[in-house]
Amino acid sequence: MPEDAPNMTAFIPLKITNFIDNQLALMFSQGQLIFGVLFAIAFTILAIFAYRQDAVLHKKYYKGNRWVLLAFIVFIGLIACIKLFLG
């Protein structure tokens, strides 16, 4: 690469933005995009609201779930280590 060539990494966000704009313009109408954005916002708000309502029940019935998550992560880590070192 010549020394006077521009640094292309500085333009990555612009390239991604242009790609997304072009792809979305080809795949979805403006109405579909608006619906998708509004749906995502409404779904997120409702999911947070529902979780907050159920927080008391989660504390009561799901004690110890962190240990299950930790065991799962350790298990996946062990599988990855075995794959890395033996495979």
Annotate 37-75 with b (16+ C-beta within 10 A) or e (fewer).
Answer: eeeeeeeeeeeeeeeeeeeeeeeeeeeeeeeeeeeeeee
Cβ-contact 43, 51 below 8 angstroms: no
Q: Which of 19, 73, 8 is nearest to 81 (CA)?
A: 73
pLDDT tens per residue across all 87 residues of the chain: 455 555 555 555 666 666 666 666 678 888 999 999 999 999 999 999 999 999 888 888 888 888 999 999 999 999 999 998 887
**What is the pTM assigned to this prediction?**
0.47
Q: pLDDT value at position 36?
A: 94
